[in-house]
Amino acid sequence: MKSQRMSRIFEALDSFEIELPSWGFADTGTRFGKFFQEASASTTEEKFHDAGLVHQLTGACPTVAVHVLWDFQAGQHPREVVRLARKYKVGIGSINPNLFQDQCYKLGSFCSPDAAARRAAMTHALDCVDIGRTVKSKYLTFWLGDGTNYPGQDNIVRRKRDLQKAFRRVAEKMPSRMTMLIEYKPFEPAFYHTDIADWGMAYVFCKYASSRMGGRRAKVLVDAGHHYQSVNIEHIVAFLLDEGMIGGFHFNDRKYADDDLTLGSIDPYGAFRIFNQIVQNTFDTGKAPKLAYMIDQSHNLKPKIEAMVQSVDLAQRLFVKAHLVDRKTLARVQHKGDIVAAERLLQDAYETDVRHVVRDWRASRKLPLDPLGELRSSGVINRLGRQRSAARKARGEVQVASYA
Protein backbone atom coordinates (compact mmCIF):
# COMPACT_ATOMS: atom_id res chain seq x y z
CA MET A 1 0.00 0.00 0.00
CA LYS A 2 1.15 3.55 -0.63
CA SER A 3 2.70 5.19 2.42
CA GLN A 4 0.19 8.06 2.41
CA ARG A 5 -2.75 5.66 2.53
CA MET A 6 -1.01 3.60 5.21
CA SER A 7 -0.50 6.73 7.28
CA ARG A 8 -4.22 7.55 7.04
CA ILE A 9 -5.14 4.00 8.06
CA PHE A 10 -2.78 4.13 11.04
CA GLU A 11 -4.37 7.42 12.13
CA ALA A 12 -7.82 5.87 11.79
CA LEU A 13 -6.77 2.87 13.91
CA ASP A 14 -5.33 5.22 16.52
CA SER A 15 -8.73 6.86 16.90
CA PHE A 16 -10.75 3.62 16.71
CA GLU A 17 -11.62 2.91 20.35
CA ILE A 18 -13.95 0.11 21.42
CA GLU A 19 -15.59 0.09 24.84
CA LEU A 20 -15.74 -3.21 26.70
CA PRO A 21 -18.73 -4.28 28.84
CA SER A 22 -18.00 -5.10 32.47
CA TRP A 23 -20.77 -7.73 32.40
CA GLY A 24 -19.07 -9.48 29.49
CA PHE A 25 -16.39 -10.82 31.83
CA ALA A 26 -18.77 -12.23 34.45
CA ASP A 27 -20.74 -15.47 34.52
CA THR A 28 -23.94 -14.93 32.59
CA GLY A 29 -26.51 -17.22 31.09
CA THR A 30 -29.65 -17.74 29.13
CA ARG A 31 -33.21 -17.68 30.39
CA PHE A 32 -32.66 -21.35 31.24
CA GLY A 33 -29.46 -21.29 33.27
CA LYS A 34 -25.79 -20.40 33.64
CA PHE A 35 -22.67 -22.31 32.69
CA PHE A 36 -19.77 -21.28 34.89
CA GLN A 37 -16.18 -20.60 33.91
CA GLU A 38 -13.42 -20.78 36.50
CA ALA A 39 -11.72 -17.67 35.12
CA SER A 40 -14.86 -15.52 34.93
CA ALA A 41 -14.87 -12.30 36.93
CA SER A 42 -16.88 -12.26 40.16
CA THR A 43 -16.01 -8.76 41.37
CA THR A 44 -15.84 -5.34 39.79
CA GLU A 45 -12.08 -5.31 40.28
CA GLU A 46 -11.74 -8.61 38.43
CA LYS A 47 -13.81 -7.19 35.56
CA PHE A 48 -11.48 -4.19 35.30
CA HIS A 49 -8.47 -6.50 35.41
CA ASP A 50 -9.79 -8.46 32.44
CA ALA A 51 -10.75 -5.34 30.50
CA GLY A 52 -7.30 -3.91 31.18
CA LEU A 53 -5.72 -7.07 29.82
CA VAL A 54 -7.75 -6.83 26.59
CA HIS A 55 -6.69 -3.18 26.24
CA GLN A 56 -3.06 -4.10 26.88
CA LEU A 57 -3.22 -6.71 24.13
CA THR A 58 -5.15 -4.71 21.51
CA GLY A 59 -4.43 -1.04 22.30
CA ALA A 60 -8.04 -0.23 21.42
CA CYS A 61 -10.15 -0.52 24.58
CA PRO A 62 -9.44 2.30 27.06
CA THR A 63 -12.90 2.39 28.68
CA VAL A 64 -15.30 -0.03 30.34
CA ALA A 65 -19.09 0.22 30.28
CA VAL A 66 -20.47 -0.25 33.79
CA HIS A 67 -23.86 -1.39 35.04
CA VAL A 68 -25.27 0.42 38.02
CA LEU A 69 -26.34 -2.21 40.58
CA TRP A 70 -23.80 -4.72 39.27
CA ASP A 71 -20.63 -2.58 39.47
CA PHE A 72 -21.41 -0.07 42.23
CA GLN A 73 -21.96 -1.47 45.71
CA ALA A 74 -24.41 0.09 48.15
CA GLY A 75 -22.67 2.80 50.14
CA GLN A 76 -19.64 2.81 47.83
CA HIS A 77 -18.51 6.17 46.53
CA PRO A 78 -18.30 6.13 42.72
CA ARG A 79 -14.73 7.47 42.88
CA GLU A 80 -13.68 4.17 44.44
CA VAL A 81 -14.81 2.44 41.26
CA VAL A 82 -12.84 4.99 39.21
CA ARG A 83 -9.73 4.19 41.26
CA LEU A 84 -10.23 0.48 40.68
CA ALA A 85 -10.45 1.06 36.93
CA ARG A 86 -7.32 3.22 36.90
CA LYS A 87 -5.42 0.48 38.72
CA TYR A 88 -5.78 -1.58 35.54
CA LYS A 89 -5.19 1.35 33.18
CA VAL A 90 -8.76 1.69 31.94
CA GLY A 91 -11.42 4.33 32.54
CA ILE A 92 -15.13 4.35 33.23
CA GLY A 93 -17.14 4.51 30.03
CA SER A 94 -20.89 4.52 29.61
CA ILE A 95 -23.23 4.34 32.59
CA ASN A 96 -25.92 1.69 32.13
CA PRO A 97 -28.97 1.92 34.41
CA ASN A 98 -30.60 -1.34 35.43
CA LEU A 99 -34.33 -0.95 34.87
CA PHE A 100 -35.20 -4.57 34.21
CA GLN A 101 -34.05 -6.67 37.15
CA ASP A 102 -35.93 -5.56 40.26
CA GLN A 103 -39.31 -7.09 41.02
CA CYS A 104 -41.07 -3.75 40.76
CA TYR A 105 -40.31 -3.71 37.00
CA LYS A 106 -42.43 -6.78 36.27
CA LEU A 107 -44.82 -4.67 34.16
CA GLY A 108 -42.25 -2.13 33.01
CA SER A 109 -40.09 0.69 34.34
CA PHE A 110 -40.55 4.23 32.98
CA CYS A 111 -43.91 3.27 31.48
CA SER A 112 -45.20 0.71 33.95
CA PRO A 113 -48.89 1.02 34.87
CA ASP A 114 -47.64 1.04 38.48
CA ALA A 115 -46.81 4.61 39.54
CA ALA A 116 -44.48 3.30 42.27
CA ALA A 117 -42.44 1.43 39.65
CA ARG A 118 -42.24 4.56 37.50
CA ARG A 119 -41.00 6.57 40.49
CA ALA A 120 -38.42 3.89 41.34
CA ALA A 121 -37.18 3.90 37.74
CA MET A 122 -36.83 7.68 37.70
CA THR A 123 -35.02 7.73 41.04
CA HIS A 124 -32.59 5.11 39.78
CA ALA A 125 -32.05 6.91 36.47
CA LEU A 126 -31.31 10.23 38.20
CA ASP A 127 -28.95 8.41 40.57
CA CYS A 128 -27.17 7.11 37.48
CA VAL A 129 -26.89 10.67 36.15
CA ASP A 130 -25.25 11.68 39.43
CA ILE A 131 -22.84 8.74 39.22
CA GLY A 132 -22.02 9.65 35.63
CA ARG A 133 -21.39 13.24 36.64
CA THR A 134 -19.03 12.13 39.42
CA VAL A 135 -17.04 9.70 37.26
CA LYS A 136 -17.09 12.07 34.25
CA SER A 137 -18.83 9.63 31.95
CA LYS A 138 -19.74 10.81 28.45
CA TYR A 139 -22.68 8.44 27.96
CA LEU A 140 -25.84 7.36 29.74
CA THR A 141 -27.10 4.26 27.93
CA PHE A 142 -30.69 3.05 28.21
CA TRP A 143 -31.90 -0.38 27.26
CA LEU A 144 -35.38 -1.05 28.60
CA GLY A 145 -37.09 -4.42 28.89
CA ASP A 146 -40.43 -2.61 28.92
CA GLY A 147 -43.28 -4.06 26.91
CA THR A 148 -46.31 -6.33 27.12
CA ASN A 149 -46.95 -9.99 26.45
CA TYR A 150 -50.64 -9.94 25.50
CA PRO A 151 -52.96 -7.81 23.36
CA GLY A 152 -54.91 -5.43 25.56
CA GLN A 153 -52.54 -5.86 28.50
CA ASP A 154 -51.86 -2.11 28.66
CA ASN A 155 -52.44 1.15 26.84
CA ILE A 156 -49.62 1.42 24.30
CA VAL A 157 -50.01 5.16 23.71
CA ARG A 158 -50.07 5.92 27.45
CA ARG A 159 -46.83 3.97 27.77
CA LYS A 160 -45.27 5.92 24.87
CA ARG A 161 -46.14 9.25 26.45
CA ASP A 162 -44.79 8.23 29.85
CA LEU A 163 -41.54 7.15 28.19
CA GLN A 164 -41.26 10.47 26.37
CA LYS A 165 -41.68 12.42 29.60
CA ALA A 166 -39.21 10.21 31.46
CA PHE A 167 -36.45 10.50 28.86
CA ARG A 168 -36.91 14.27 28.67
CA ARG A 169 -36.72 14.64 32.44
CA VAL A 170 -33.53 12.57 32.62
CA ALA A 171 -31.95 14.46 29.71
CA GLU A 172 -32.66 17.77 31.41
CA LYS A 173 -30.73 16.60 34.48
CA MET A 174 -27.67 15.40 32.56
CA PRO A 175 -24.44 17.45 32.56
CA SER A 176 -23.70 19.16 29.26
CA ARG A 177 -20.88 16.77 28.35
CA MET A 178 -23.16 13.71 28.61
CA THR A 179 -25.12 12.15 25.74
CA MET A 180 -28.07 9.85 26.29
CA LEU A 181 -28.02 6.75 24.09
CA ILE A 182 -31.35 5.00 23.56
CA GLU A 183 -31.24 1.38 22.43
CA TYR A 184 -34.06 -0.54 20.77
CA LYS A 185 -35.04 -4.20 20.53
CA PRO A 186 -37.98 -5.75 18.65
CA PHE A 187 -38.75 -8.43 21.26
CA GLU A 188 -37.57 -10.11 24.48
CA PRO A 189 -38.32 -10.08 27.33
CA ALA A 190 -41.69 -8.79 26.09
CA PHE A 191 -43.27 -10.91 23.35
CA TYR A 192 -46.34 -8.95 22.21
CA HIS A 193 -44.85 -5.49 21.96
CA THR A 194 -41.74 -3.77 23.24
CA ASP A 195 -41.99 -0.07 23.96
CA ILE A 196 -38.86 0.79 21.95
CA ALA A 197 -39.08 -1.79 19.19
CA ASP A 198 -37.03 -0.26 16.38
CA TRP A 199 -34.71 2.57 15.33
CA GLY A 200 -37.57 4.86 14.33
CA MET A 201 -39.14 4.72 17.79
CA ALA A 202 -35.73 5.29 19.39
CA TYR A 203 -35.20 8.27 17.04
CA VAL A 204 -38.53 9.82 18.10
CA PHE A 205 -37.72 9.39 21.80
CA CYS A 206 -34.29 10.96 21.24
CA LYS A 207 -35.76 13.98 19.47
CA TYR A 208 -38.35 14.46 22.20
CA ALA A 209 -35.74 14.14 24.95
CA SER A 210 -33.58 16.82 23.33
CA SER A 211 -36.32 19.19 22.18
CA ARG A 212 -36.06 21.69 25.04
CA MET A 213 -32.28 21.92 25.11
CA GLY A 214 -31.44 23.29 21.69
CA GLY A 215 -29.15 20.39 20.85
CA ARG A 216 -28.98 16.70 20.23
CA ARG A 217 -28.39 15.42 23.73
CA ALA A 218 -29.97 12.04 22.98
CA LYS A 219 -29.06 9.72 20.12
CA VAL A 220 -29.86 6.24 18.89
CA LEU A 221 -27.74 3.25 19.88
CA VAL A 222 -27.67 0.47 17.27
CA ASP A 223 -27.14 -3.05 18.61
CA ALA A 224 -26.24 -5.38 15.75
CA GLY A 225 -28.23 -8.22 17.34
CA HIS A 226 -31.43 -6.27 17.92
CA HIS A 227 -33.12 -6.70 14.57
CA TYR A 228 -35.42 -9.14 12.86
CA GLN A 229 -33.94 -11.50 10.29
CA SER A 230 -32.79 -9.90 7.03
CA VAL A 231 -33.06 -6.29 8.24
CA ASN A 232 -30.65 -4.06 6.29
CA ILE A 233 -28.73 -2.65 9.28
CA GLU A 234 -26.32 -0.58 7.19
CA HIS A 235 -29.30 1.21 5.63
CA ILE A 236 -30.44 2.21 9.13
CA VAL A 237 -26.89 3.31 9.95
CA ALA A 238 -26.61 5.43 6.80
CA PHE A 239 -29.98 7.07 7.43
CA LEU A 240 -29.19 7.91 11.07
CA LEU A 241 -25.71 9.15 10.18
CA ASP A 242 -27.20 11.59 7.69
CA GLU A 243 -29.68 12.74 10.33
CA GLY A 244 -26.87 13.18 12.88
CA MET A 245 -28.87 10.95 15.21
CA ILE A 246 -26.71 7.88 15.67
CA GLY A 247 -24.67 7.87 18.86
CA GLY A 248 -23.02 4.48 18.87
CA PHE A 249 -23.01 0.74 18.37
CA HIS A 250 -23.17 -2.43 20.38
CA PHE A 251 -21.05 -4.92 18.47
CA ASN A 252 -21.99 -8.60 18.42
CA ASP A 253 -23.36 -11.11 15.95
CA ARG A 254 -26.32 -13.42 15.78
CA LYS A 255 -27.76 -16.26 13.73
CA TYR A 256 -31.36 -15.99 14.91
CA ALA A 257 -31.98 -13.31 17.52
CA ASP A 258 -29.67 -11.39 19.84
CA ASP A 259 -27.33 -14.34 20.30
CA ASP A 260 -24.46 -12.23 21.76
CA LEU A 261 -22.02 -14.03 19.48
CA THR A 262 -18.55 -12.68 18.75
CA LEU A 263 -18.47 -9.99 16.09
CA GLY A 264 -18.29 -11.42 12.58
CA SER A 265 -18.68 -15.04 13.67
CA ILE A 266 -21.79 -15.37 11.48
CA ASP A 267 -21.72 -12.49 8.99
CA PRO A 268 -18.42 -10.60 8.83
CA TYR A 269 -19.43 -9.03 5.50
CA GLY A 270 -22.46 -7.54 7.24
CA ALA A 271 -20.22 -5.88 9.85
CA PHE A 272 -17.97 -4.64 7.04
CA ARG A 273 -20.95 -3.07 5.30
CA ILE A 274 -21.76 -1.13 8.48
CA PHE A 275 -18.20 0.18 8.68
CA ASN A 276 -18.39 1.00 4.99
CA GLN A 277 -21.33 3.35 5.60
CA ILE A 278 -19.46 5.07 8.43
CA VAL A 279 -16.37 5.63 6.29
CA GLN A 280 -18.58 6.73 3.38
CA ASN A 281 -20.22 9.32 5.62
CA THR A 282 -16.77 10.63 6.59
CA PHE A 283 -15.83 10.87 2.90
CA ASP A 284 -19.08 12.62 1.98
CA THR A 285 -19.03 15.15 4.82
CA GLY A 286 -15.30 15.61 5.35
CA LYS A 287 -15.73 14.92 9.06
CA ALA A 288 -15.71 11.67 10.99
CA PRO A 289 -18.89 11.19 13.06
CA LYS A 290 -18.53 11.01 16.83
CA LEU A 291 -19.60 7.47 17.62
CA ALA A 292 -19.35 5.30 20.70
CA TYR A 293 -18.16 1.88 19.57
CA MET A 294 -19.02 -0.69 22.23
CA ILE A 295 -19.05 -4.46 22.56
CA ASP A 296 -22.15 -6.01 24.10
CA GLN A 297 -21.53 -9.73 24.37
CA SER A 298 -22.12 -12.23 27.17
CA HIS A 299 -20.37 -15.47 26.35
CA ASN A 300 -21.66 -18.60 28.02
CA LEU A 301 -19.32 -21.05 26.28
CA LYS A 302 -16.26 -19.23 24.92
CA PRO A 303 -13.59 -18.07 27.38
CA LYS A 304 -14.66 -14.50 28.00
CA ILE A 305 -11.35 -12.69 27.63
CA GLU A 306 -10.52 -14.62 24.46
CA ALA A 307 -13.92 -13.79 22.98
CA MET A 308 -13.41 -10.08 23.65
CA VAL A 309 -9.97 -10.11 22.02
CA GLN A 310 -11.42 -11.96 19.03
CA SER A 311 -14.11 -9.32 18.55
CA VAL A 312 -11.74 -6.37 18.89
CA ASP A 313 -9.21 -7.94 16.53
CA LEU A 314 -11.82 -8.57 13.84
CA ALA A 315 -13.38 -5.13 14.31
CA GLN A 316 -9.98 -3.55 13.64
CA ARG A 317 -9.52 -5.59 10.47
CA LEU A 318 -13.01 -4.85 9.14
CA PHE A 319 -12.50 -1.17 9.96
CA VAL A 320 -9.30 -1.17 7.90
CA LYS A 321 -11.01 -2.96 5.00
CA ALA A 322 -13.68 -0.24 4.90
CA HIS A 323 -10.92 2.33 4.50
CA LEU A 324 -9.62 0.50 1.41
CA VAL A 325 -12.68 1.27 -0.70
CA ASP A 326 -11.75 3.73 -3.45
CA ARG A 327 -14.44 6.33 -2.70
CA LYS A 328 -13.74 8.56 -5.71
CA THR A 329 -13.97 5.68 -8.15
CA LEU A 330 -17.06 4.41 -6.34
CA ALA A 331 -18.74 7.79 -6.79
CA ARG A 332 -17.92 7.79 -10.52
CA VAL A 333 -19.27 4.32 -11.21
CA GLN A 334 -22.37 5.00 -9.10
CA HIS A 335 -23.00 8.12 -11.20
CA LYS A 336 -22.71 6.02 -14.35
CA GLY A 337 -25.05 3.41 -12.97
CA ASP A 338 -22.35 0.74 -13.24
CA ILE A 339 -23.72 -1.61 -10.62
CA VAL A 340 -21.21 -4.41 -11.13
CA ALA A 341 -18.20 -2.12 -10.84
CA ALA A 342 -19.61 -0.51 -7.70
CA GLU A 343 -20.23 -3.83 -6.02
CA ARG A 344 -16.78 -5.11 -6.98
CA LEU A 345 -15.12 -2.13 -5.30
CA LEU A 346 -16.72 -3.14 -2.02
CA GLN A 347 -16.03 -6.84 -2.51
CA ASP A 348 -12.40 -6.25 -3.44
CA ALA A 349 -11.84 -4.20 -0.30
CA TYR A 350 -13.55 -6.81 1.86
CA GLU A 351 -11.57 -9.67 0.34
CA THR A 352 -8.22 -7.94 0.83
CA ASP A 353 -6.09 -9.56 3.50
CA VAL A 354 -5.26 -6.70 5.87
CA ARG A 355 -3.72 -8.72 8.70
CA HIS A 356 -0.26 -7.43 7.79
CA VAL A 357 -1.53 -3.83 7.95
CA VAL A 358 -2.92 -4.29 11.45
CA ARG A 359 0.27 -6.11 12.50
CA ASP A 360 2.38 -3.22 11.20
CA TRP A 361 0.22 -0.76 13.16
CA ARG A 362 0.60 -2.88 16.29
CA ALA A 363 4.36 -3.08 15.82
CA SER A 364 4.58 0.70 15.47
CA ARG A 365 2.59 1.07 18.72
CA LYS A 366 4.61 -1.63 20.55
CA LEU A 367 1.61 -3.91 20.89
CA PRO A 368 1.56 -7.71 20.55
CA LEU A 369 1.41 -8.59 16.85
CA ASP A 370 -1.03 -11.43 17.52
CA PRO A 371 -3.07 -10.48 20.60
CA LEU A 372 -5.13 -13.68 20.70
CA GLY A 373 -2.07 -15.86 20.22
CA GLU A 374 -0.26 -13.92 22.93
CA LEU A 375 -3.19 -14.42 25.29
CA ARG A 376 -3.52 -18.13 24.60
CA SER A 377 0.20 -18.83 24.98
CA SER A 378 0.50 -16.83 28.21
CA GLY A 379 -1.49 -19.28 30.33
CA VAL A 380 -3.17 -16.34 32.05
CA ILE A 381 -6.71 -17.75 31.75
CA ASN A 382 -5.77 -21.00 33.49
CA ARG A 383 -3.95 -19.03 36.18
CA LEU A 384 -6.95 -16.76 36.70
CA GLY A 385 -9.18 -19.81 36.89
CA ARG A 386 -7.17 -21.26 39.77
CA GLN A 387 -6.92 -17.94 41.60
CA ARG A 388 -10.57 -17.01 41.22
CA SER A 389 -11.89 -20.43 42.16
CA ALA A 390 -9.90 -20.19 45.38
CA ALA A 391 -11.08 -16.62 45.99
CA ARG A 392 -14.75 -17.56 45.51
CA LYS A 393 -14.34 -20.44 47.92
CA ALA A 394 -12.68 -18.17 50.50
CA ARG A 395 -15.56 -15.67 50.22
CA GLY A 396 -18.10 -18.43 50.60
CA GLU A 397 -19.57 -17.51 47.24
CA VAL A 398 -22.23 -19.93 46.03
CA GLN A 399 -22.79 -20.17 42.28
CA VAL A 400 -26.35 -21.02 41.29
CA ALA A 401 -26.87 -22.30 37.76
CA SER A 402 -30.61 -22.83 37.69
CA TYR A 403 -33.00 -20.06 36.72
CA ALA A 404 -35.77 -21.65 38.77
Per-residue pLDDT at 257: 87
**Nearest Cα residue to 144 out of 123, 127, 126, 166:** 166
Looking only at the bridges linking them, the beta strands covering 147-148 and 193-194 are antiparallel
- Per the CB < 8 A criterion, the answer to whether 252 and 213 are in contact is no
The widest CA-to-CA distance across the chain, in whole angstroms, is 70
Per-residue pLDDT at 1: 58
Amino acid at 286: G
Q: Is the peptide bond before 289 cis (omega within 30 degrees of 0)?
A: no
Per-residue pLDDT tens digits for 44-96:
999 999 999 999 999 999 999 999 989 998 889 999 999 999 999 999 999 99
Average pLDDT of the chain is 95
- Per the CB < 8 A criterion, the answer to whether 160 and 119 are in contact is no
Per-residue pLDDT at 318: 98
Buried b (16+ CB within 10 A) or exposed e, 264-287: bbebbeebbbbbbbbbbbbeeeee
Per-residue pLDDT at 398: 83
Give the separation between CA 191 and CA 89, rounded to whole angstroms.
41
| Regions of the chain short of the pLDDT cut 70 | 1-2, 213-215, 401-404
Per-residue pLDDT at 2: 64
> What is the chain's percent helix, strand, coil content, to nearest 5?
50, 15, 35
Name the β-bridge partners of 229. Answer: none
**DSSP string for residues in 72-121:** S-TT--HHHHHHHHHHTT-EEEEEE---SSSGGGTT-STT-S-HHHHHHH
DSSP state of 175: -
